[in-house]
A and B are shown apart, each in its own frame.
Chain A
Amino acid sequence: MSAGGGDDAMTSQVPGPVGPGRARGSLERERRQAYWLVAPAVLVLAAVALYPILAAVWLSLHRFILVFGERRFVGLGNYAYLLGDARFWSALGNTAYFTGVAVGVELLLAVPLALLLQRAFPGRGLLRAAVLVPWAIPTVVSARLWAWMFNPDYGLINRLLLGSDINWLGAPGYALHAAILVDVWKTTPFVALLVLAGLQGIPEDLYKAARVDGASPWRTFRSITLPLLKPALLLAVLFRSLDAFRVFDAIYVLTEGGPANTTETLSIYAYKTLMRSGDFGYGSTLSVATFLCVVVLAAVWLRLLGRQEEAR
């Protein structure tokens, strides 16, 4: 906000005593000022998100190699190539597998963790602070940290599994699961916090009533906690699956997509095509494809959430 000039202009419009005729003008002025207040934020969002996504779609319709300066319109040619590109389908499969397994495991861990955090016990403050540690550590740092844990010769994991010499990040079957473990470690706390917020919204009376009726803890969990937690769980799944689907940092640091592309996700493949091959045309096609997948995923989850709201 420009401080001096704008301020003066606004001071001159101080409303007098409120009268019937003034109220309308004042509302009108309020609306005008509201638009001025949100305008910079809208502009920024348009500049960093709306314009780039449209430009990416436009770029994806070109053959465009950055270093050669070669750029010509090819229509849907890149998309036709995409459909026959086995590496794209394998990256899509890896991304979907990563997302599904990671989010599933995170939910399975987060619900008990949230139930635990809701209880009063000595050391709850410590646990609450501790779960935020993985969340606060930069993803790159946590990936490096786990890469050292996974080290086949001297890593902690093989030290603990006495005599094991599994090459966690170098063997095709293991590497993607190792990446999933890093993601689970880093983001389960966030899911648990969302679930905890949902738990705190369940009225205490319901639990009291269940206790009076003599319901077992498991029965109470199945009949009261879980159904009432469903919106919070769906929301957590929405946020986390969209986030997991764009995974880049952890895998780039752990394996760069290897061994033999078995951990290559859509973001990694698109990044390599853009920045290593300098192919801004097909790279943008891969980016747009990733974006469309996220849009479809979001639409499906939002529909489920909407149905949930209606049912209530």
Chain B
Amino acid sequence: MKQRAGLGTALAVVAFLTFFLGPFFWQVLTSLWPDGELTRPWPSHLTLENYVSVLWGRPFLRVVLNSLVVAALTTVFCLVIGSAAAFALAKLEFRGKGLLLSAALAVSMFPPIATVSPLYLILRAVGLRDSLVGLALPYATFAMPLTLWVLTSFFRQLPDELYRAARVDGCTPFQAFRRVLLPLAAPGLATTAILVFIFAWNEFLFALTFLTTPEKRTVPVAISLFASEYREPWGEIAAASVVATLPLVVLTVLFQRSIVSGLTAGAVKE
């Protein structure tokens, strides 16, 4: 009986690992497959030529840089504004707290297609349509609610006594936030930053709609439009995918504990 349970577990683990990792490994293998041999059942040797042509033959490094800029801008913007609000939501008394948190949750459920046409017109009107800075603003639609929920739950975990002690020592609420609670919330800030960064790095619809200059494309847009004149360059697409994904995979595996706690923080504890 006991052994059967062990075997069942092992089979289930192998099945899930194959399903979740198999396609990714196939992509890595494809990226190393010599271009002319994709029609064969197995490559005769492995090569880095796809990586060379992606990184040097195309403006792909530029694209990666664009994505870095947009994701970093979004992260900093939302963390600066969101941390102050999250602190107030967790530690201060004021009316409309519940309303604000529910509103944030509702906004995170907005289908991006619902707001894309007015956002397009607004960004065009202020001259920020085809710009990376202009792209970071609408990213707040999903990044700000995420920041508020994850950080509020982090600030709630810090003892109220800390805040009260700081107040008794003569700090204003804002000073108590900046000098006492914010430094203690550093792990929460890091978790939030990773989540917001990943979401911004992966966003597609807004980037596809607002950016028209090829040099300004972000990674998902560039990969979706990746093509050559004659046929789909599968090897190069695979290489570009690996380059665009590997940093995220490493980040995720390294910080899996905090990512999981951040992802489920708002959802389950409420």
Contacts and interface: CB of A to CB of B under 8 A. Distances in A.
B80 to A, nearest CB: 7
Top-4 shortest CB links A-B: A246-B111, A55-B118, A41-B85, A52-B115
12 contacts: A1-B80, A10-B175, A30-B92, A33-B92, A134-B20, A137-B24, A141-B223, A239-B267, A246-B113, A248-B113, A252-B224, A280-B121
Interface in B87-103: 87-89, 92-94, 100, 103
Given A34-B88, A235-B268, A239-B267, A291 B241 contact: no
Nearest to B265: A197
Contact of A127 (B16, B144, B172): B16
Interface in B181-236: 198, 201-202, 204-205, 208-209, 219-221, 223-224, 226, 234
Interface in B161-189: 167-168, 170-175, 177
B19 interface: yes
Contact of B104 (A29, A45, A189, A242): A45
Interface string A86-116: 0000000000000000000000000011001
A290 B114 contact: yes
A149 interface: yes
B32 interface: no
Contacts of A198: 268
Nearest to B82: A41
Contacts of A252: 204, 208, 224
B153 to A, nearest CB: 12
Interface in B50-88: 80-82, 84-85, 87-88
Interface in A158-211: 159, 185, 189-190, 193-194, 196-198, 201
Contacts, number: 288
B252 interface: yes
Given A34-B92, A123-B13, A291-B114, A141 B100 contact: no
A191 B127 CA distance: 40
Given A116-B13, A138-B245, A141-B241, 6 more contacts: A33-B92, A41-B148, A130-B20, A142-B23, A249-B204, A280-B117
A298 B122 CA distance: 28
Interface string B20-38: 1101101100100000001
B159 interface: no
* Number of chain A interface residues as a range: 35 or more
A138 B202 contact: yes
A7 B17 CA distance: 53
A127 B114 contact: no
B144 to A, nearest CB: 6
B39 A153 contact: yes
A257 interface: no
Given A38-B89, A140-B220, A145 B241 contact: yes
A249 B10 CA distance: 34
Contact of B173 (A33, A131, A248, A280): A33
Contacts of A288: 114
A216 B244 CA distance: 47
Contacts of A271: 113, 116, 205, 209
Contacts of B144: 41, 44-45, 48
B244 A141 contact: yes
Contacts of B121: 55, 280
Nearest to B113: A267
B26 to A, nearest CB: 5
Interface stretch (A11-19, A77-85, A219-227): A11-19
